[in-house]
Amino acid sequence: MKLLHAPTSPFVRKVMVVALETGLAERIDIVFNAASPLQRDPELTRLNPLGKIPALLLDDGTALYDSAVICEYLADLAGDSAIFPVGPARWPALTLQALGDGLLDAAVGTRYESVMRPEPLRWPDWSQAQLAKIAGGLDAVEEMARSGLIDPTLHHIGLITLGCALGYLDFRYADMGWREGRPATAEWFAAFDARPVMAATRPHERIA
């Protein structure tokens, strides 16, 4: 298998966490791809016509995208039912994955607005609306953590996605102070982020 990858992408990180959790990481060849939203890369668009990473090329030539699909494929390939639970536990895990992905969509989109769009063309109201989505999502997570709906002993796809989202906020929005007023979330994340698979996949800038 070949994974088109960038070390700063939180969606790629999600896939790598699952690959490590399932013991499949050694079977995946990592190929760097910058995946610029402003310039389409033929190698990437051949696998994912949307031009987004991650994209996974299987040995039979099949291409899978996006992160949610790739993660479920890896868990299925490994026969892992903890990451994608079965039965009633599946739906809360998938819902939390959707929340984490939504946090990331808002955070990544706001970063694009601030670093890639020319300053005269930036739309502050749009950026503030995205940041409000992040704040609202984090407040919902805090309620879950305080009520015990986030189990610190589990590592399903929802929690993996949430962990990657909070890690991305630390990486790209260090001055946001998301922990303020959210002690239960901060406590959960401190423990979850210390897990070896999270430590091994922390985002970093690529060194040429």
pLDDT tens by residue, the chain, 208 residues: 999 999 999 999 999 999 999 999 999 999 999 887 778 889 999 999 999 999 999 999 999 999 999 999 999 999 999 999 999 999 999 999 999 999 999 999 999 888 888 888 889 998 999 999 999 999 999 999 999 999 989 999 999 999 999 999 999 999 999 999 999 999 999 999 999 999 999 987 654 3
Q: Please say whether the beta carbons of 115 and 43 come within 8 A.
A: no
Strands 29-32 and 2-5: parallel
Q: How many CB atoms lie within 10 A of CB 151?
A: 13
Backbone angles phi and psi of 52, in degrees to 5: -120, 150
Residue 179 carries which side chain, given as an amino acid letter? R
Map tokens 């694009």 to a residue. Answer: 112
Q: Mapping DSSP to helix (H, G, I), strand (E, B) and coil, where does residue 57 land?
A: strand
Residue spans per domain, the chain: 2-78, 87-199
CATH number of 87-199: 1.20.1050.10
Q: Count the neighbouring beta carbons within 10 Å of the beta carbon of residue 206.
A: 10
Return d(Cα 97, Cα 117) in angstroms, integer.
29
Q: What CATH architecture is 2-78?
A: 3-Layer(aba) Sandwich (3.40)
